[in-house]
Amino acid sequence: MSRSHDTPAPRPSAFRPRRLRTTPAMRRLTAQTRLHPEDLVLPMFVREGLEESVPIASMPGVHQHSLDGFRSALADAAEAGIGGVMLFGVPEKRDAVGSQATDPDGILNLATRIAVEEVGDELVVQTDLCLDEFTDHGHCGVLADDGSVDNDATLERYAEMALVQAEAGSALLGLSGMMDGQVGVVRDALEKAGHTSTAVLAYAAKYASSFYGPFREAVDSQLSGDRRSYQMDNANSREALLEVELDIAEGADVVMVKPAGSYLDILAAVAARSTVPVWAYQVSGEYAMIEAAAANGWIDRERAIDESVLAIKRAGADAILTYWAVELADRLTSR
């Protein structure tokens, strides 16, 4: 077919994509992916018994908060205009079933009430719903006699945790344990108790990753061994889509891919198919690697942070959990 006479063929010299990269103003105007403070969620650790906040050695700039330090950090987060905070509790005492997780006065539930009082109108207060911080064996569930994690016994504990966290005021429960059926059990428990407005975030595609290492220091994990019998195999991708579909069918309001940086292909695939919002967690190891490389002068710290988080957004995340949330929000606002 001949080309129309009034549509001349473009000359090779006409193809100059660099025109849209010439100046900072032009690059901002033509950017195809944009990151906003509201896209960011700050994970926070609150430790029982502290008189002042304690730095986490493997995560420079991140702390286990005392209650006073927690209040101050919440104020900073709200002022930065981020989307929300995800709370983790570190108790003084642990046992086989994680009793402190369902104590209304346990550290996580106490911290939740404080957060709701302090910033509940400005930030979405979210809570980690998992047993690993609270058990003396460090696993995400109740153990069977043979030492394996008992899926269904764990679900009973998750349902109890969900009710206590919802009653403490959590707006969104982060189900991070990767137990089969956890979303459905928690959703049913919330509905029956009248907590119909409490949202459920399913860590639907949570991989058994080496990048969780610094987090274990942050929560003083008691784990020996690994979690490969319930977290996903690094080699699998189609399985992630199955997990997401199951969690949505069970009533998840949001689904999560974790970690983010090493699983951008999974994130993109989930984002392309999910009917609910898709979030991603830039985990402790990702944070620690950039901070360590920057401290050694090997990379430009701010540019590396910006690039790593923007990549997660570009891959399809609607919101991103990152330990740089406040810093990055402040920088975005000042541009």
Backbone φ, ψ for residue 236 (5° rounding)? -100, 135
Reported residue count of the chain is 335
C-alpha separations of 127 from 121, 196, 266 in Å: 16, 17, 24
Has 206 been annotated as catalytic?
yes
Catalytic residue selected from 93, 192, 206, 313: 206
| Plot region of 19 (φ>0 → left; ψ -120 to 50 → alpha; else → beta) | alpha
Q: Do residues 177 and 129 make contact, with C-beta atoms less than 8 angstroms apart?
A: yes
Has 258 been annotated as catalytic?
yes
The helix or strand, by DSSP H or E, that contains position 203, with its residue range, turns out to be strand 199-206
Give the side-chain half-sphere CA count within 13 A for 177. 36
Strand partners, 281: 321
Give the side-chain half-sphere CA count within 13 A for 183. 22
Q: Do residues 195 and 163 make contact, with C-beta atoms less than 8 angstroms apart?
A: yes
In the block, residue with structure tokens 């764990």: 154
Catalytic residue selected from 93, 192, 258, 313: 258
What are the structure tokens assigned to 308, written together?
């790593």
Q: Do residues 262 and 211 make contact, with C-beta atoms less than 8 angstroms apart?
A: yes
Q: Which of 112, 141, 116, 117 is nearest to 127 (CA)?
A: 112
Q: Which of 292, 276, 274 is nearest to 284 (CA)?
A: 292
Give the catalytic positions in this structure: 206, 258
